[in-house]
Amino acid sequence: MAVILVVEDDEANQELVTRFLKRDGHRVLLALDGSAALKSALEHVPDLILMDLGLPGMDGWEAAQRIKSSPETAHIPIIALTARALPEDVLKARNAGCDAYETKPVVYQRLLKKIEALVNR
């Protein structure tokens, strides 16, 4: 069981990710945009963050970068969710400090395995 912060602005996708994670026994925190994600990461220090990159306001790249550059939250693994696996997107996510990425539509079996590997690292 891990505490996972899900950063996602689309309501249906929020519910979907939440249901899959809970089904796998995880506890879920939600944030709708980058700044809410920063706040929640500092306050709750989750075991892992699932970060959608295309967010309104502060986007996922900036949020990831800030979380990784703050000493209180730098250790939290981040999995980026991207719409397309364009090489520049993947590179940008890696440069922002994301530990892994998954493309949408999410293949949940694979995502859950990645979460497990990163949480138990």
Considering beta carbons, is residue 97 or 106 the nearer one to other proteins? 106
Considering beta carbons, is residue 29 or 112 the nearer one to other proteins? 112
Q: At its nearest, how many Å lie between other proteins and the CB of residue 75? A: 30
CA distances from 35 to 38, 50, 52, 84, 101 (A): 5, 14, 13, 23, 20
Considering beta carbons, is residue 41 or 50 the nearer one to other proteins? 50
Q: Could you say which residues in the range 42-81 bind other proteins, by CB under 8 A?
A: 54
- Tell which one of 42, 45, 74, 83 touches other proteins (CB under 8 A): 83
Q: Say whether residue 110 binds other proteins (CB under 8 A).
A: no
Q: Say whether residue 23 binds other proteins (CB under 8 A).
A: yes
Return the range that interacts with other proteins (CB under 8 A); candidates 7-15, 26-34, 36-44, 69-77.
7-15
Q: Say whether residue 112 binds other proteins (CB under 8 A).
A: no
Greatest C-alpha distance within the chain? 34
Q: Say whether residue 16 binds other proteins (CB under 8 A).
A: yes
Residue with token string 């089904």 = 23
- Tell which one of 3, 100, 106, 119 touches other proteins (CB under 8 A): 106
